[in-house]
Amino acid sequence: MLTEILQEIILSNQKMFRDMTIYPREIELDPNGNHVIVGPRRAGKSYLLYQYIQKKFYSVGEEEKILFINFEDDRLIEFQHTDFQLILDAYSKLFDKKPVIFLDEIQNIKYWEKFVRRLVDTEYQVFITGSNAQMLSKEIATILGGRF
């Protein structure tokens, strides 16, 4: 059941980004890097991802590579750290590509660091946002192994 919900979320987010009107801002993100975007709530972290997604994927017709999950989505209220692998499973049932992974407000899920570290260790490109004290601490680079 959760796999089907995740598939629905993946597809609806891809459509949302295609249809979204974004007002361009100057942003420079390493196109091959992994990124942690932190800051207070309502500071524009998610919007920065939306802009990057539209510019990088829709301009070249690669929207199927987008795997975007917002952990404030009410359909994920019961999501646990043991469910993280289901995100990759759901995507692989939809597409035969290696996705670029965007995890928005990931601090809402306990032990998220282990999953993100595994993604990077297995050569996925990852973008995460968060806004709690742990995410804002200087220790985040140590927790994630300095790969962000």
Q: Which CATH number fits the domain that encloses residue 96?
A: 3.40.50.300
Note down the domain range covering 9: 2-20+30-143
Question: Taking 70 as the threshold, does the pLDDT of residue 59 lie above it?
Answer: yes
Hey, which of 51-55, 93-97, 127-131 has the most confident mean pLDDT?
Answer: 93-97
Higher pLDDT, 125 or 147: 125
Residues 6+ apart with CB under 8 A from 73: 9
Q: How many domains does the chain have?
A: 1
Q: Which position has the higher pLDDT, 106 or 25?
A: 106
d(CA 27, CA 8): 29
pLDDT of residue 81: 95
Residue 111 lies in a domain: yes
Reported as a single tens digit per residue, the pLDDT across 114-128 is 999 999 999 999 999
Residue 10 domain-assigned? yes
Q: What is the pLDDT of residue 91?
A: 98
Q: 148 lies in a domain?
A: no
